[in-house]
Amino acid sequence: MKDERPDLTVRTKRYSLDVIKLFVSLPNNEVGKVLGRQMLRSATSVGAHYREANRGKSLPDFISKIEGALQELDETSYWLDLLSESGIDQSTELQRLCAETDELIAIFVTIAKSAKHRKKGSLARN
């Protein structure tokens, strides 16, 4: 049975595009602009970090890029929370993006842990 979930490269790109759509829908006031830009910057960095990780020169480089993506996801979660809790946006799309952010964090944590475990195994053999 084939896995129906898109691969992570596609998923992180779709995540960026969905955040762009949310950004465009935010109120055109100072707070909406500031929070929106911060969210946009961090969220669109996730896919870039993941692509860079897959082109990493070494396992430590891969881990560093994955951890960079995790930092960006954590920051994006913060900006999404502020948008929601401030009342600027409480749409179902924002709530869906919060859930997707949480899922991506869990995936990237698993990837980082697995890579660190592989790194420890390779160090033990040397």
Task: Provide the pLDDT for residue 56.
Answer: 87
Q: What is the pLDDT along the chain (126 residues), one digit of tens a residue?
A: 344 446 999 999 999 999 999 999 999 999 999 999 999 999 999 999 999 999 989 999 999 999 999 999 999 999 999 999 999 999 999 999 999 999 999 999 999 999 998 877 665 555
> How many domains, the chain?
1
Task: Provide the pLDDT for residue 125.
Answer: 53
Distance CA 120, CA 122 (A): 5
**Is residue 1 one of the residues assigned to a domain?**
no
**Is residue 36 one of the residues assigned to a domain?**
yes
Contacts of 100 (CB under 8 A, 6+ apart): 15, 18
**Is residue 2 one of the residues assigned to a domain?**
no
Distance CA 72, CA 105 (A): 10
Task: Provide the pLDDT for residue 123.
Answer: 53
Task: Provide the pLDDT for residue 103.
Answer: 98
Distance CA 90, CA 75 (A): 18
- The CATH number of the domain holding residue 32 is 1.20.1440.60
Task: Provide the pLDDT for residue 83.
Answer: 97
Give the type of residue at 108: F
**Is residue 17 one of the residues assigned to a domain?**
yes
pTM of the model: 0.88
8 Å CB contact between 98 and 81? yes
49: domain range? 8-125
Distance CA 77, CA 106 (A): 13
Short-list 63, 68, 24, CA closest to 45:
68
